[in-house]
Each structure stands twice: as C-alpha cells, then as structure tokens.
Amino acid sequence: MKKKGLALAAVVCSAAMLLSACGGSGSSSSSSSKSTSGDKIITAYSSEPQNPLVPGNTNESEGAKPIQLAFSGLVTFDTKGNAKNEVAQSITPNANSTQYTIKLKPGWKFTDGTAVTAQSFTKAWSYTANAKNAQKGSSFFSTIKGFSDLQKTDGLKGDEQLSGLKVVDDKTFTVDMSQPDSTFPIKVGHYVFAPLPASFYKDPKAFGEKPVGDGPYKVVQWDHSTDIKLVKNKDYKGVQPVKNDGITFKIYTKDDAAYADIQSGQLDVMESIPAADSKTFRTDSSVQPYNKPGSVNQMFTIPSDLNHFKAGTEEGTLRRQAISMAIDRKGIVDKVLNGLDKPADDFTSPLTPGYKSGLKGSENLKYNPTKAKELWQKADAISKDTDPFTLAYNADGGAKPVFDALVNSINNALGSKIAATNPMPTFQQFRDAVGNHSIKGAFRSGWQPDYPSAENYLFQNFASGAADGNGSNDGGYKNPKFDALMDKAYAAKDQNEANGYYSEAQEILLNDLPAIPMYYKNNDGVASTKVSGFEMNWQGEPVYGELVRK
C-alpha cells in the first residue's frame, strides 16, 4: 500500500501448506482473543485518510490503519510476516494452483451481529473487481477467472459477479483462477480481500464513514480531521492479540507535534520519527524508541507520459537514469536521516523473500554525478528541456528535509535550476492529486507491503493491470515484457522459480525507472513511557493490540 511517511519473514507458508495446520486452530484462536484486557484506550498517530473506510477502495496507509483493525480476512500475519489462518479454516489448492477450495471457521460474525458467510467474501471480491465500482484495489483480483469480463464498463451495473467464484455452502466456496497463482494463499491476507456485510451494499457512502467489520476492533466514530475511534470487538475470536479496550487515531498535520505529545504522554504511539528528532530519539528518556530493519521502500514516481520523461523513449530513459544517478542516497541517509535507513538498490526490500542484490541495472541507483550529467546532456541533444523537474510531496508527513536534499543533490549534479520541490499541504490533498493525475511532475511514493512477496511490490505498482485506476500503478507505466514475466512468476512451480522471474522483471524496471527507489525505511517509531507492549510488525506498524496503559 502507499505509505504516508514511509521485517518480512524469510519463510512463508506455501500454497500447499496453508491449510488448517498452518493457521491457528479454533481453540488457539479463542485463547488468543481472551488475553488480559487493558482498561484504557490507546491513542495513536495518524493523518486524515484519503477516502471513506472501505477495504476495496483503500490503497494508502492512513485509511489502512483503522481498516486493518476493523476487518479480518481469510488469513492474517504475525509480527514476523508469517501467515496464519484467521476466518479461514483451510485454503486448499489443486495441483497447479488454478483452483482453491476455501472453508470458513464456524461462528464468525460482523459487529452488527450478522453472520460472515462464503457469500460475504465472494460478493465483496466481485464488487471490488468490478470496474463499474471504480475501486482502487481492483487489480488484486486480476488472476481470478472472470476479472477481464468485469473491466468492460459498458453495460455493467456494478453487481456482476466474478465467474471464478462459486459458493458451495455458507462456509465453503471455490476460486477458479484465470492463470496459476501460487501467491494467492498469502495474497488474501491483504485487507482488500476482507468480507463485507449486507449493509455495505445498501449505502456504501454511509458505510465508509462508520464501517461494519469482523475484526478485533470496531469503528464507533470518525470525526474528520480530528480522530477515528475504535473500540474492542468483544465477539472477536481470531488469532490477533487484543489487550486494550480500543484505539483512537488522532489526526495530525505536523509530525513534530505528535512527537511532542508522545514525550508529554498525550499520545501513546507513532510509527515514524520527525527528521529533527531522528538523531536523538534513541537516547530520549521521555519516549520508548524502536528502530530495526524494515520492509518499506521509499521512492518517487515519474509519470510515464511526463513531457521529456516519457517511458520507453530514448530521451525519457536517459533523463530518468540521469536523475537517479544524480541522487546521493548514502549522503541523504547519513546526513538527513541520521543513518537510520539504508540506500535502496532494488524495488522490493532486503527483507523480502527472494531479494537479490547486484541485479543488472542496479548501477542506475548508484550516485554517479559525472555519468548523470553525461546522460542529461545526451537527452538535451535529442530535445532540450527548459522546464524544471518538480517533485511533489505531502508537507504533513515530515518529508520536507528529504525532498529538499533530493533537489539539492540533483541540482548539484545537473545544474542549479534543473529540479524544484512541489509541496502539498496534507496527505489527503496529495493523494487526491496523484489519483486524478493533476500533478505535472514527479511525486513522492513508496510501498509498505500488504503481504510478504515480491509480487506485491512489483505487480501492484508497475503492471499494466494495476494502471488506469485499477491499482497502485499511479505513474501509468506499461511494459508488455514486464507483464509477461509477472505471468510466468504466477505460474511458477515453486517460490525459487518465481523469484527468478521477479529478478528478471526488476532488471526491466531498473532500466526503465518508472519510479526512482531512494531508501529502505527502517521500522522506527516511539511510544509513550506510560504504555507497555510496544513493538512494530513486519509492515512497520505498531502492534496496536499489544499496547496497554501501565
């Protein structure tokens, strides 16, 4: 998902293993949910979500925070990224991963008291996949049979169903794939695959203001630009910990104000560190610090149709590579981020299963100002570019020092007036501008993985099927050779074979540079000294359910 500010486990359950034995049993689920409860509400840092709180239409981190707490899907992930069955009793593939049989655990309910059934999943998935409904998570369903039929908006009403989904009974359904998809059993851990109650279809807009889910917490109020309040779901019976009485996400426009509130005990937890505090937070006695390697890749995206940077053209490729080589990533990490993060050399992360350093083209992510200027001059010989290269970002997330440093590095290498920043006041305004393609330049991006696979970084950000509003390919990049390699990875016999195709696909990206990877963000954050149980998960988010007031 798109990260506002922005460790995977190396071992993940395979399709064949992701059965009831891989996930928690009914008895273990029950005991987990009955952990000792706190008697306080935990307050957490956030910004205003971009959209109403609908799982299938959310692809950014601020909306994802409450959604992930309010909804449970077929599987969930522990703090290390290991898949565990949640609503699913079992997920059983056929021999070549072209069909899955899914059985649900009994007794699961939404917070309005209605039952979670097989149709709660099939109808929700079809709604999200249906292009008529214009859901941002549509591309996640692209390998299910019937997806392409739901992309032809002419004649669609919005209630048509994916032909690959078949309800067997209230607790069983099957999923026929249009192609093999070995990542499906972990992909369904993403919240876009969450079930929806009947009340959603009656009034989706009202639902998004106060969603009804089946997760460990339930949303009770969203006071826009102030806070989002969730309370413990006392009927939750899953495997996630719930040790407090609720979570209130307090909405900030300045991360330094949130940090000050952590210090004074007015806020309990935040998952980022203001640049001004990045050097001292680990020794700050007024907070509980956290800093470990993470899985978030911070980038900026250059739209594929940007004048003088058009993807697939000689001039565009030269300029993209020149910009990338003009960035002193190590200098920015060391001086601006105080060494907390690591310069990126690919489009995933070192903690992603199958990560491989030294890929062909990774030299384009190395600081080389001499080569950068040479490439820029070659591009100018094709067509002189006199417009500034602008970099847009949201000003409420602490990104200003990084983007100021980016511009300085580019201008030092290529010329004093080549690059300029384009700050936008809030995350919501920034994401809206990205979504409606009104930004005439590069823009801040990044990826916080939804499930532990290179496929999540690559397909969702760069495949043709994730462009045009169907996913998170906001730059509109399309390359048939890249798409073909992703298809081969889906059909791979095992994860090692799939990882080989992912590496080949990355080499195409490292040449074309639809986005420019900057650095891998550590999982860093702080908590008030008034709470216990503070840790961060494989996605770089606090484990909210473990937090308890002392």
Q: Give the Cα separation of 513 and 535 in Å (integer).
A: 34
Average pLDDT on 241-254 reads: 96
CB half-sphere exposure, 68, CA atoms < 13 A:
25
Query: What is the reported pTM?
Result: 0.82
pLDDT of 250: 98
Could you tell me the end-to-end alpha-carbon distance of the chain, in angstroms, rounded to an integer? Answer: 33
pLDDT tens per residue across span 337-369: 999 999 999 999 999 989 999 999 999 999 999
Average pLDDT on 423-429 reads: 94
Nearest to 84 by CA among 195, 235, 180, 185: 185
How large a percentage of the chain has pLDDT more than 90? Answer: 85
Average pLDDT on 255-260 reads: 97
Average pLDDT on 125-130 reads: 98
pLDDT of 1: 63
β-pair partners for 43: 248
Task: Give me the sheet containing 172-176, strands edge to edge.
Answer: 88-93, 99-104, 172-176, 165-169
Task: Tell me what the pLDDT averaged over the chain comes to.
Answer: 91
| 395 has pLDDT over 60 | yes
How large a percentage of the chain has pLDDT more than 70? Answer: 93
239: which residues sit within 8 A by CB, 6+ positions away? 23, 24, 28, 29, 32, 33, 76, 84, 85, 86
Pairing of strands 41-46, 246-251: parallel
> What 3-state class would DSSP assign to 433?
helix
| 3 has pLDDT over 60 | no
| 258 has pLDDT over 90 | yes
pLDDT of 328: 98
Pairing of strands 548-549, 269-270: unpaired
Find out whether 534 and 288 touch, Cβ atoms under 8 Å: yes
Sign (positive or negative) of CA dihedral 425, 289, 248, 242: positive
pLDDT of 397: 81
Cβ neighbours of 423 (radius 10 Å): 16
pLDDT of 133: 96
pLDDT tens per residue across span 276-320: 999 999 999 999 999 999 999 999 999 999 999 999 999 999 999
Q: Quick one: pLDDT band at residue 275, thresholds 50, 70, 90?
A: confident
pLDDT of 398: 85
Q: Looking at 149-153, 156-160, 519-523, 534-538, which range is the least confident one?
A: 149-153
Q: Quick one: pLDDT band at residue 495, thresholds 50, 70, 90?
A: confident
Find out whether 244 and 44 touch, Cβ atoms under 8 Å: no
Structure token digits, residue 273? 């560190």
At CB < 8 A and 24+ separation, what contacts does 399-406 make?
399/5, 399/444, 400/275, 401/275, 401/336, 402/275, 402/332, 402/336, 402/337, 402/518, 403/444, 405/331, 405/332, 405/335, 405/336, 406/300, 406/327, 406/332, 406/518
Nearest to 445 by CA among 19, 539, 169, 433: 433
Structure token digits, residue 146? 């019937």
Q: Looking at 23-27, 75-79, 198-202, 510-514, which range is the least confident one?
A: 23-27
The residue written with tokens 């395979």 in the block is 14
pLDDT of 2: 54
Nearest to 298 by CA among 443, 197, 122: 443
Separation of CA 465 from chain center: 17
* DSSP states along 405-424: HHHHHHHHHH-TTSEEEEEE
93: which residues sit within 8 A by CB, 6+ positions away? 15, 16, 99, 100, 182, 184, 185
pLDDT tens per residue across span 66-102: 999 999 999 999 998 999 999 999 999 999 889 999 9
Which stretches of 259-369 are assigned E, i.e. beta strand? Answer: 269-270, 287-301, 342-343
pLDDT of 8: 28
